[in-house]
Amino acid sequence: MRKTALYGTLAAVAVTAGNVLHGVSHAGAEVPLAAWQRAYVYLVIFLAPVVAAVLLWGRFRRAGAWLLAVSMAGSLVFGVANHFLIPGPDNALALEPGAWQTAFRASAALLVPLDALGLAVGFWAVRGLSRAADTPEPDDVPAEAEAR
């Protein structure tokens, strides 16, 4: 269980660090976000992975694993869509030339594998914790079975 919490926490820390770098490049490049996008970024992309990491260390490990997986999936879809597919000021490929263009593009590209890694770790944790929940602990074995 500790390995699950550790890997989940490391994934959350790595993704958060990448998002901080990208946030700095957003500010430097003066790329605006709509109010709903800001709310999504704060709640799903920044807050949810941190809460997931905390939950992974306590009695709500499965909830933490699910929250990590879902938030990373949401972050991956949001990032790929807004940075590479949807036209607009947040599209890294259409960003106007400037001092922050390279940092913005590089950090947007870096977030794709980081989010994918976080998603993989989240689903690995869900799977492992679900298996662990289905396996009875030695104390859960009925007394009749022990006598045999």
Query: Per-domain residue ranges for the chain?
Result: 2-132
Residue 130 pLDDT greater than 60, yes or no: yes
Least confident of 15-29, 35-49, 65-79, 120-134: 120-134
Tokens for 109, please give them. Answer: 């590209």
Residue 74: left if φ>0, alpha if ψ -120 to 50, beta else—which one? alpha
Q: How confident is the model at residue 140 (pLDDT cuts 50, 70, 90)?
A: very low
Buried b (16+ CB within 10 A) or exposed e, 1-12: eeebbebbbebb
Task: Tell me what the pLDDT averaged over the chain comes to.
Answer: 91
Q: What is the pLDDT of residue 146?
A: 53
Coil, helix or strand for 58? coil
- For residue range 11-22, what is the model confidence (pLDDT) as tens digits? 999 999 999 999
Between CA 67 and CA 9 the distance in angstroms is: 12
